[in-house]
Amino acid sequence: MALVREDFEKETLEAWKTFVDSLDRALTNLEQELKEGKEMRDICTDEWCQATEHYIDDIGNALFSISEPRWASEEDSRRIKSLKRRLHDMYAEYKVLPKSS
């Protein structure tokens, strides 16, 4: 039974880390979008703003609903906290982008 549990924990942790890696990549893509938004003052059209806000919400929902496995390392926990901070900071950047009239 212990071997089955160890396999489960190992596979779950690997899947969890893959999920966290995907969130990290999504945040990197979002950072790039926001950077372009700052450089192009007219980019925040209603459509772009709505799509960006939905993307932020989707990432936030996924990120803040993560249940860390109890066997995750302290480093893994720090990484999740760091991703949450990044998302918070990006949302603050998004909110100050000039909106088109």
Cα–Cα distance, 9 to 12 (Å, whole number) = 5
Q: Is residue 88 part of a domain?
A: yes
Residue 83 near residue 26, CB atoms below 8 Å: no
Q: Identify whether 61 is part of a domain.
A: yes
Q: How far is 94 from 101, CA to CA, in rounded Å?
A: 16
pTM score of the predicted model = 0.80
pLDDT tens for each residue of 21-65: 999 999 999 999 888 877 776 656 778 888 888 999 999 999 999
Q: By residue range, what is the domain housing residue 76?
A: 2-30+40-95
Mean pLDDT of the chain: 85
Q: Do the domain assignments include residue 90?
A: yes
Determine, yes or no, domain membership for 24: yes
Q: Is residue 8 included in any domain, yes or no? A: yes
In a domain, 100, yes or no: no
What DSSP designation does 41 have? Answer: T
Domains in the chain: how many in total?
1
CA distance linking residue 40 with residue 53, whole number of Å: 17
